[in-house]
Structure 1
Amino acid sequence: MKKSFLALALSGAMLITSCEQEVVIDDAQLQSIVDAAVAAALANYPNTQEIADAAAAAATAAVANGLGDIDSAIQEALDAAEALTNPPLVRVGTGGVTEITSDTTWTNDKIWLMDGKIVVEDGATLTIEEGTIVKGSAGTGANATVLIIAKGGKINAVGTAEKPIIFTDANDQIVYANGTTSPNRSATDKGLWGSVIILGNGVVGAANGEANIEGVVSGYEFTKYGGSDNTEDSGVMKYVSIRHTGTAVSPGNELQGLTMGGVGSGTTIENIELVGSEDDGIEIFGGAVNVTNIVIANFDDDGIDLDQAYAGTISNAVVILASGSDTAFEIDGTEEPNDAILGEYTVENVTVYGRADAAKFDTFGNWKSDATGFNDNVLFVDFPTGSTLGGIDADTYAGAGTATAEGKLFFRDFVAVTADSKTDVVAGQVEEASATWVSVSASRPSGKGADESVFAWTQFFN
């Protein structure tokens, strides 16, 4: 009804202007008339950039094709707005375990609702198109919804800065018309579904070189990770936002924002956002996968948690603590009982934001259980007075360094923006004379920590 009325009104306007004399309407005036007609037709839809873009495309096409296409322009705009506002919902799984055994694609014209354990099995690839919204059903304990890329399976989730892939909970009201911003969720919402887990055949510092991933009920083959190939390829994740995760199966057996076990360096993980985990932001068990450009915000436990001789590099990260966060870093060494499997990680170019209302003060990080690796260029800002290092294992600590070395834990260029002294910050965790890698500054220094310019696409920085 609205479409027909608008088209009739517009035709009437053109007839009136043609009485008595010939009136010439140039392209700009014509575009303005069509724009107004299309905008009026969309008055009942959300006022978002995505719908505005759809309307503009329809109006421009109408002008290019002549006035006879005004009705078509209005209908195209209505159809596009409807698709963005009320996309079809596709359910994947009905609780329990759902196996994906062949190559599968989740497209960006639907909302994909996972329910239960969705397992991409050995030999299969799950492709997720740019901009796709994936939601996880609510469930606690053994019933938590989790996407698991099993050993030998692959994920191909490649978003863009303009159209990131979004994982969120089932009750998040976000649809494509909203862009990347939820109408009912905030960054502080946590633990509303499980998480994303990627498992591979990389080297793992565990007994027999293999383990079962935490956060998932044991007894299934798809929970196993570990092998002998630290270059293995478990797929690609680029421009992916994972939100409101971390349901626990049982105490001490939690899900994170993103968990990887035994994932090799052939896997690409870059431009990732993890928001609102009820446990860790990211946890990596062994393997040698590299992670580049990652934002981790509002987690309950640790921002970056590394275990079981992880031997990859995490580069350019921003970690934003919540008031109840435990630490920015929790880093452990090998769990192989004979120390036959060692791994030296690198963490570099990180900015960590604290909270004035922090519930505890030893939040800078814990390096324990014979952790070995190299920590470089880390900036701590916005922490309350009295904030300190949490702990550093004396067995592997080797002071200042410039690169990894087998069996050693090195640091370089840690800067805390604080009125506290260096002695206060170190807090007796190591001999202060050896802590030449720590400095304090009354103001934020330039050129330290992460390059935040690459994070404009994220929920936190947008």
Structure 2
Amino acid sequence: MKNSFLALLFIAGIVSSSCSSSDDEDTTPAPVVGSITGIITTNTTFPSGTYTLAGIVKINPGVTVTFDAGSTITCDIATGDNALVVLNGGKLIVNGTASQPVVFTEKNKVPGNWGGIIMYGDAPITAASGAATAASEDGNVQTYGGTNPTHNGGTLRYVRVEYAGKKLGDGQKENNAFTFYSCGSGTVLDHLVAYKGADDGYEFFGGTVSATNLVSYGNYDDAFDWQDGWKGQLNSNWYAYQTGKGNFGMEVEASNNNNAFGPKVVNITLKRATGTTPEVDTDVQVDAFQFKKQGNGEYDNIVVDGYLNYTVGATLFTATVVRILDTSTNTDQVNGGKLKLTNVKITNTSLVDPTGAAGISVSFPVGNFTTSQSATGAVITNGSWSNVDGTNLIQ
């Protein structure tokens, strides 16, 4: 891949030098066109341009791959499984800007046509039964988890991932627009868009990484999802707009571990457009927040809008601002004071009080669930980075 890329630049240089010069000659370099395939084994920078990504491209440990602002990287389901994978020890640096984001997309513009961006690290996790490591569920069969809370998988700024969520490999595994396996606090995630994927917008599998200015738009499953003891502490400005199909605004679990810690997220907006349906009618999920398997955390300055009841045949499924799905989560996290949602503004939503699954009575300790009509939710500025085909994603 490196040799092909150098050859591309060499040819471009010959063409440029063969042109006659004049005082008014445009010296702006032509955008680069190229392809990205296979395993990347040496540090590589992709200048601003248009690229085709074919296959499951992996960034090896010890290797840094950089994309300059304004690039578009397109894959095609006709080539089979496609994804960009950062192996533990590798780094992905994406230098997008508000006016020149870096866009990863799919040729046919069909949700679920590729695997998105997948990053592995070695930050701590608590998987099922308290395990410190686990096998990834993305079809790549990678081990994740470790003892390095400051793991650095790179910097993603002003990045948009479109039409992801493909099940790779055996067709049973899960991928999202952005998937982070045990990534650490040295990783920077800022101004990201997950657009019309067939699974979650963002999913965290343990780790300590935090993320700011996230947009999840039109993803079929949950806007935000995590498990395995993810404990990012500096998260802010998360915005979800569920339209067409969509399940929970936020699905929170901790792999059945009653952890002494939890994540913190401030400035959250969860919106569900009129007419949005669950992903499938056989598993109806229509709540703004769902907590299960010991999911906990602290959440503040929240706007919830549009989470309404849904009917399948003669069965009514109620929608609520917060649902506690199991007794252990209610006992250990709600009653134990390790789950807090404060300054919540609720509009156009069927049930405005936290609700339990059948047989579970939910009563937050005083001050741990509070409402406020002055809550602002996420405050994020639209720009080219959050505009697709003329539509601003932040509604």
**TM-score, scaled to structure 2:** 0.78
Gap runs ≥5 in structure 1: 1-68, 173-184, 402-407
Q: Return closer, same or farther for 1:419/1:138 CA change in 2, 3 Å cut-off.
A: closer
Which has the larger strand fraction?
2
On the 8 A contact 1:318/1:350 being kept in 2, the answer is: yes
Matches within 5 A, 1:313-328: 313=233, 314-328=235-249
Provide the C-alpha distance between the structure 1 equivalents of 2:228 and 2:126, rounded to a whole number of angstroms: 4
Instruction: Give runs of aligned pairs for residues 151-190 of structure 1, distance below 5 A.
Output: 151-169=88-106, 171=107, 189-190=110-111
Matches within 5 A, 1:235-254: 235-249=154-168, 250=170, 252-254=172-174
1:124 alignment partner AA: V
**1:154 Cα deviation from its structure 2 partner:** 0.7
Q: Residue in 2 aligned with 1:453?
A: 381
Does the aligned pair in 2 maintain the 1:213–1:224 contact within 8 Å?
Answer: yes
Matched, 1:214 2:137: yes
The equivalent of 2:266 in structure 1 is 348
Match of 1:412 in 2: 342
Q: Secondary structure of the residue that 2:381 maps to in structure 1?
A: helix
**Retained in 2: the 8 A contact 1:334–1:342?**
no
In structure 1, what is the equivalent of residue 15 of structure 2? none
Percent same amino acid among aligned pairs?
23
Partner of residue 44, structure 2: 104
Change (3 A) 1:224 1:400: closer
Cα distance per residue 1:38-74 (max 9 Å; x no partner): xxxxxxxxxxxxxxxxxxxxxxxxxxxxxxx9x864x
| CA positional deviation for 1:100 | 1.2
Residue identity opposite 1:431 in structure 2: V
Q: Distance in 2 between matches of 1:453 and 1:326?
A: 26
Task: Output the aligned Cα RMSD.
Answer: 3.0
Q: 2:198 aligns with which of 278, 288, 292?
A: 278
Shift of 1:238: 0.7
1:387 matched to 2:337: no
Partner secondary structure for residue 26 of structure 2? helix
Deviation at 1:436, TM superposition (A): 5.8
Give the letter for the 1:449 counterpart.
Answer: G
Aligned length, in residue pairs: 346
Change in Cα spacing, 1:199 to 1:448, as seen in structure 2 (3 Å) is same
Runs of at least 5 residues in structure 2 that lack an aligned partner in the other structure: 1-20, 279-284, 310-317, 388-392
- Residue in structure 2 matched with residue 224 of structure 1 by the alignment: 143
Name the CA distance, whole Å, in 2 between partners of 1:395 and 1:193: 40
* Alpha-carbon distance between aligned partners in 1 of 2:299 and 2:364, rounded to the nearest angstrom: 18
Q: Distance in 1 between matches of 2:332 and 2:383?
A: 34
SS of 1:453's partner is coil
Question: 2-side partners of 1:151 and 1:264: how far apart?
Answer: 11
Following the alignment from structure 1 to structure 2, what is the Cα–Cα distance between the partners of residues 383 and 168?
29
* Residue number in structure 1 paired with 2:87: 150
Q: Do the aligned partners of residues 194 and 311 (structure 1) sit closer, same or farther apart at CA in structure 2, a change above 3 Å counting?
A: same
In 1, distance between residues paired with 2:335 and 2:347?
A: 21
Distance across 2 between alignment mates of 1:259 and 1:107:
25
Equivalents in 2 of 1:395, 1:454: separation in Å? Answer: 41
Cα distance in 2 for partners of 1:132, 1:125 equals 17
Q: Could you report, residue by residue, the CA deviation over 1:310-349 in whole angstroms, capped at 9, with x for unpaired residues?
A: 010331110111232110111111467xx6x764111221
> RCO greater where, 1 or 2, for CA within 8 Å and sep 6 or more?
2
The structure that is helix-richer by fraction is 1
SS of aligned partner of 1:144:
coil
Corresponding position: 1:267 with 2:183: no
Q: Deviations over 1:350-407 (max 9, x none)?
A: 1111122132573212111011321222211234466313435213333696xxxxxx
Q: CA deviation at 1:421?
A: 5.9
TM-score if structure 1 supplies the norm length? 0.68
- Deviating above 4 A after TM superposition, structure 1's stretches of 4 or more consecutive aligned residues are 427-430, 432-441
Task: Report the equivalent of 2:315.
Answer: none
